[in-house]
Chain A
């Protein structure tokens, strides 16, 4: 399997050699930046993993098992630095395959040394800074918009809540912390000298694309979960599809229209922007409808 993957990468490098050569050249020229970015990313990842794994271990059934301190420290180091180890292996394999296939061996070696050095530095630095607080994710509903209802108001039978559920799931997933983390790489990707208005459009485009992707995933996930809950109820499949489909499709169509508008604002031709928007809306709605039909089949299996 590993050989197969290496073979595929080698074939890709060989086929796209002309396109990859300038990338390797750029990575070599900005070696210090690569080293710094690799170090920062690794330090954050390892520190977060350390915090998460320690919190998880404290609740684990293995927490009471007597293990020698030296063995425990060794195992903890292996587990906590797993992202760094994985990064080192991936960089080494990519570099080795590239060196075998491409001609710029000196450049490839320099890039490998910079990235690996950065990863190693990051892993060490992560142990020198204080560990971050254990991550306690709040319940998803904390970030969900909710209309206040008087407690005394009568309960009115309605399936409308089913339609709102995927949108609520989207808000629950798109927690402020997650959005902030997703925005950082977008900002980093923008070249120096980017105008503020362009940056805003780019960020908005990413936000809309993210919302589209999340809304589709949320609709799929929620419809699957809902069917476990609704299976014993005498509600007809048509009513469930109607309740779910309309609000989610309206959201997908709205987001696609917004994406088309933003693309037009980003100097993409109006025709292309409309095509992208219409395609995204159509594809999103069709995929969701198909998945919904699959989920509401009358006799589902657990």
Chain B
């Protein structure tokens, strides 16, 4: 799975999802090619986390199709999930397991023979190694966030899905992680889907971005548009606000 891939890594077609009778997402279509870093923006409660929950199969969509590296999440979930790495929210991590045990479980479930040296190097760089033997419930929010991201990277997945993964991280660790993720998807040909409110990632790291409002993808900035905005040193905050107000 470590080899570079040229096709689309994630394909979401006409996704519809909700909770009970309440529809949260309507007709969402997103395609991520290799080396794409897609940032999902939007106001609170617009459905960002619901969309990610569908992509990582924590929520059953009521319509549409999700393909990861060509494998349908509904028809072939095992193969699709083998190519997926998801950083869950820190409160979902098992409180009574140690960080090492979490890594062991993730590595075993991805049928790995061990944890890659690059991942251990990232853990060292993030100053996480001393916490390997600590129970999750004794870790601070930032340290749990680091663990969640490290777990997402176990098995070198093609598609990395992060939900507000930089919340609680100190600026130095956040910078290390952003650079690592950029390098990782560049060198391995993977893709990254990140839901966040942090506009600096759109400004400096993302290839494309989309604004989700009331469960619909209202605005998408493709690579060319983001490059133009960067070249013009545009005010991203104002652009985002305009996208939200303009709907």
Could you tell me which A residues sit within 8 Å of B by CB distance? 139-141, 144, 146, 148-149, 151, 154-162, 165, 168-169, 172, 225-226, 228-236, 239, 298-302
Contact = CB atoms under 8 A, between A and B. Distances in A.
Interface in B68-97: 77-82, 84, 86, 88, 92-97
Nearest to A171: B96
A154 B120 CA distance: 10
A146 B78 CA distance: 32
Nearest to A156: B104
Contacts of A299: 57, 60
B85 to A, nearest CB: 8
Contact of A141 (B130, B132, B138): B138
A301 B161 CA distance: 19
B95 A140 contact: yes
B109 A235 contact: yes
A159 B107 CA distance: 9
Contacts of B59: 301-302
Interface stretch (B110-118, B166-174, B207-215, B235-243): B110-118
A233 B88 contact: no
A144 B81 contact: no
Contacts of A140: 95-96, 137
Given A151-B132, A169-B96, A157 B81 contact: no
A144 B78 contact: no
A229 B97 CA distance: 12
Contacts of B93: 229
Given A159-B109, A168-B96, A228-B88, 4 more contacts: A140-B95, A144-B135, A226-B94, A232-B88
Given A151-B132, A299-B57, A157 B96 contact: no
B129 interface: yes
A49 B162 CA distance: 41
A142 B240 CA distance: 46
A136 B106 CA distance: 33
Contact of A157 (B86, B104, B136): B104
Q: What are the nearest 10 A-B pairs in CB distance?
A: A141-B135, A235-B109, A157-B107, A234-B81, A161-B101, A232-B56, A157-B108, A232-B86, A299-B60, A233-B109
Contacts of A225: 94
B109 A230 contact: yes
A151 B114 CA distance: 15
A149 B133 contact: yes
A228 B92 contact: yes
B103 interface: yes
B46 to A, nearest CB: 17
Given A139-B138, A141-B137, A301-B59, A229 B92 contact: yes
Nearest to A225: B94
Contact of B96 (A141, A228, A233): A141
B98 interface: yes
